[in-house]
């Protein structure tokens, strides 16, 4: 008896290994596919990933240099806006890309071995790596060219990235389903989240706002993420009001809800 049940357990384990191997294979194939459609099709390729943050940073720096004498932190406008914008992009670029992961790969879901969740995993990996490379290049360039030496502290930066990417994953999982089910919601979502950039503390510090405005802005977990990201570049920055526990809780809840929604409607995601 023992040997029989032992063999069954072994079989189950093997099946699970095969499943995992299939998922890993499919995700890596999707990553390669996404890379060639997203960057390979346009001339300039990967450079496009840099164009968006660089243009924003330059634009913000030029405008604010005209109005203000010094940035809210340190002396470099580009560093201030780069830390804000790129910290924000770890959420924004990822969420935007994940929202359309399933609809953008609809045709490929007719291959039985491609599961809807694989498209999410592939885009998550690809965008996280892309934003990280952009961050290293852009921030690295600024850090090495500013007059005053910058001391970089990695742990808060990495925590901010982890929080941002989980938040984006939760939102992306939920939206991938909801956009398909309720097209009207997609429109509303676009309108409601458009000002997100303005209220996430990208070009100001939430701690320097009047108390009421600050309390409202700090409901936005992204404001905390940007604050934490900046802490890694400005050791003197105290980030008053930063609440890591709050962000982790929101992120964990969103990922949980997103996964539940995604798993229960995966049949529907394939149908269309």
Partner 1 sequence: MIRLERATKEVRMKGVRKMIIDDVTVTFPRGKSIGLLGRNGAGKSTLLQIIAGTLELDRGRIIRQGKISWPLGFQGSFQGNLSGEQNVRFVARIYGVDTDELVAYVAEFAELGQFYHAPVRTYSSGMKARLAFGVSMGINFDYYLVDEITAVGDTNFKRKSQQTFKEKLSNSDVIMVSHSTGTLRDYCQTGIVLENGQMTYYDDINEAIAVHESNMKRH
For partner 1, the binding residues (CB under 8 A) are 21-22, 25-26, 28-29, 32-33, 36-37, 41, 107-114, 266-267, 270-271
Residue 210's alpha-carbon distances to 196, 207, 214, 215, 216, in angstroms, are 19, 8, 6, 9, 10
Identify the three-state secondary structure at position 69: coil
In terms of CB distance, is 110 or 236 closer to partner 1?
110
Q: Minimal distance in Å, beta carbon 125 to partner 1?
A: 15
**Phi then psi for 130, rounded to 5 degrees?**
-60, -50
Q: Minimal distance in Å, beta carbon 177 to partner 1?
A: 15
User: Is residue 177 within 8 Å of residue 267, measured between CB atoms?
Assistant: no
In terms of CB distance, is 214 or 270 closer to partner 1?
270
Q: Minimal distance in Å, beta carbon 267 to partner 1?
A: 5
In terms of CB distance, is 32 or 252 closer to partner 1?
32
Which residue's structure tokens are 């359309």? Answer: 100
In terms of CB distance, is 25 or 187 closer to partner 1?
25
Residue 189's alpha-carbon distances to 101, 183, 184, 196, in angstroms, are 16, 10, 9, 11
Q: Minimal distance in Å, beta carbon 115 to partner 1?
A: 9
């Amino acid at each position: 008896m023992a040997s029989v049940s032992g063999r069954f357990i072994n079989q189950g384990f093997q099946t699970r290994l095969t499943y995992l191997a299939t998922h890993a294979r499919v995700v890596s194939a999707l990553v390669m596919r996404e890379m060639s459609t997203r960057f390979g099709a346009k001339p300039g390729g990967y450079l496009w990933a840099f164009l968006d943050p660089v243009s924003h940073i330059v634009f913000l720096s030029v405008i604010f240099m005209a109005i203000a004498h010094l940035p809210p932190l340190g002396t470099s406008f580009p560093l201030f806006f780069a830390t804000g914008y790129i910290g924000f992009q770890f959420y924004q670029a990822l969420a935007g890309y994940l929202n359309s992961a399933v609809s953008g790969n609809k045709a490929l879901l007719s291959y039985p071995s491609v599961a809807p969740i694989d498209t999410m995993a592939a885009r998550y990996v690809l965008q996280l790596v892309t934003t990280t490379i952009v961050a290293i290049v852009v921030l690295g360039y600024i850090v090495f060219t500013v007059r005053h030496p910058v001391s970089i502290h990695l742990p808060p930066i990495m925590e901010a990235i982890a929080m941002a990417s989980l938040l984006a994953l939760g939102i992306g999982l939920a939206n991938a389903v909801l956009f398909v089910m309720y097209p009207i919601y997609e429109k509303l979502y676009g309108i409601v989240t458009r000002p997100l950039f303005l209220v996430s503390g990208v070009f100001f510090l939430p701690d320097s706002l009047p108390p009421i405005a600050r309390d409202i802005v700090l409901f936005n977990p992204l404001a905390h993420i940007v604050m934490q990201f900046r802490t890694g570049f400005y050791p003197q920055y105290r980030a008053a009001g930063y609440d890591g526990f709050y962000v982790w809780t929101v992120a964990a809840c969103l990922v949980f809800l997103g996964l539940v929604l995604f798993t229960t409607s995966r049949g529907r995601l394939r149908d269309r």
